[in-house]
Amino acid sequence: MEEKKYTRLGERMFHQVLSNGLHIYVSPKPGFQKSYAFFATNYGGMDMRFRMEGEWLDTPAGVAHFLEHKTFDTEDGNALQDLAANGASPNAFTSTALTGYYFESTEKFEENLRILLSFVSVPYYTQESVDKEQGIIGQEIRMGDDEPDTQVFYGMLEGLYAHNPIQVNIAGTVESIAQITADTLNLCHKAFYDPGNMVLCVAGDVDPEEIVRIAREILPEEGHAPVERDYGPAEEERAARQDWSKEMAVSTPIFQLGFKDVPPDRGEEWLRWELLGDLACEALLGTSSPLYARLYNEGLVNEAFSYGCEAYPGAAFLCAGGESRDPDAVRKAVLAEGERIGREGVDEGLFQRLKRAAYGSLVRGLNSFETICVSQSVGHFHGYSYLSFPEVFETITKADVEACIRRVVTGEKSALAVIRPKGGTV
């Protein structure tokens, strides 16, 4: 196995590619009670249209998430229960571009890993169980309908994008999931749950060679290359619509403000874009910025304020959101501050401090096995190695941050989504 040492971070990472195309990463963590395994496919809510055996296929919204629920079913029962019976804490999630299955356990790690690799790679979908799941997922969708943070985030995406499928709710709708059958699930499993489209990442006090052996034993020898997907034509640089709003039973307006950027290239450029985007947010409206202090003092934002950046195939954006009595005033202030930075630049002392702070937060994040494994998996799918962030981070200059703000923080690239209290109050 290939071993990389990241001495500044006090980390090591083992890496191996199998003949079926599966990449395996192992992060040794002596001294911890638990071990964590994350098995992910490069397939998420946005992957609805793809080409198989020469033919373009369209699938309903919510299939990746539905598949995630039903993949735990096995011919002998349910893998969730098998893992839990071994004391493991298993779970799974579906995001915009990835579906991940994982468990954490303190004993029988190797047996649990065999269960994980086996249930994810062997499809077992029956129409009866698909029908039953409609009820459970229907309730999950209804729960999301009542979550203002979820609603406002999709609202912002609808504002930013004309057609890129990231704006489609990952869980789908009650109507779209009604179209899903066992055949749909089998087809998508075949397309995306192939070792060539997947990654396995493990953190813990484990033997890396043993993990490779188990993966070879459980998974098929051959794999196929990832299938081609279609996310529609390239988006315009400007936001599709700058305003979106909805009323819900909330106590105060809840908002999400987005700024659309050009998606980064694969490889280290992707990582660099993410690190740069975070720093640009910090400089523009982060908790140490002059703007944040002003907004906070004026009562326009509170501690629920948060911000960041995200990149997907064909879509990338910076965003910030939270609670505010006047979200429009927040957008106005952010745009004005963007203009000021574009003109005057970022204060040198502030920039150095922000960089130091961001570095410390990234390193502290490595306490979490989940952060290591999920970030490494996402990085793998985008063609970079997550733990190389200190080196990439060093290359980011003040001028880069200023250029990013100048490019992205403009009225026409912005979309503001607001959830307003129904009838003015709850």
Cα→Cα distances 370→15, 69, 87, 100, 232, Å: 18, 20, 18, 11, 32
Show which residues are catalytic.
68
Burial class (CB in 10 A: 0-12, 13-18, 19+), 47: buried
Q: Shortest Cβ distance from residue 50 to other proteins (Å)?
A: 28
- Check residue 142 for interaction with other proteins (CB under 8 A): yes
* Contacting residue, 194, 323, 337, 402, with other proteins by CB under 8 A: 323
Tokens of 23: 């990449």
Q: Shortest Cβ distance from residue 405 to other proteins (Å)?
A: 19
Which of positions 278-317 make contact with other proteins (CB under 8 A)?
287-288, 290, 292-293, 296-297, 299, 302-304
Helices (H), 49-88: 63-71, 79-85
| 93 within 8 A of 103, measured Cβ to Cβ | no
- Check residue 146 for interaction with other proteins (CB under 8 A): yes
Strands 315-323 and 254-261 come out as antiparallel
- Check residue 87 for interaction with other proteins (CB under 8 A): yes
247-266 mask for other proteins (x: CB under 8 A)? Answer: -xxxxx-x------------
Task: Identify the helix (H) or strand (E) that includes residue 156.
Answer: helix 148-160
Beta bridge partners of 204: 28
Among residues 32 and 56, whose Cβ is nearest to other proteins? 32
Contacts with other proteins by CB under 8 A: the residue count is: 69
Q: Shortest Cβ distance from residue 200 to other proteins (Å)?
A: 21
Q: How far apart are CA 355 and CA 350, in angstroms?
A: 9
Residues in the chain: 426
Part in contact with other proteins (CB under 8 A); list of ranges 46-54, 137-145, 187-195, 333-341 = 137-145
- Check residue 90 for interaction with other proteins (CB under 8 A): yes
Cα→Cα distances 332→26, 110, 323, 329, 404, Å: 46, 55, 16, 5, 19
State the SS3 of 349-407: HHHHHHHHHHHHHHHHHCCCHHHHHHHHHHHHHHCCCHHHHHHHHHCCCHHHHHHHHHH
* Contacting residue, 353, 391, 397, 399, with other proteins by CB under 8 A: 353
Among residues 220 and 390, whose Cβ is nearest to other proteins? 390
Distance in Å from the first CA to the final CA of the chain: 59
- Check residue 359 for interaction with other proteins (CB under 8 A): yes
- Check residue 93 for interaction with other proteins (CB under 8 A): no
Part in contact with other proteins (CB under 8 A); list of ranges 26-34, 155-163, 236-244, 309-317 = 26-34
Q: Shortest Cβ distance from residue 227 to other proteins (Å)?
A: 30
Binding site for other proteins (CB under 8 A): 8-10, 29-34, 78, 80-81, 84-90, 104-107, 132-137, 139-140, 142-143, 145-148, 248-252, 254, 287-288, 290, 292-293, 296-297, 299, 302-304, 323, 353-354, 356-361, 363-364, 366-367, 422, 426
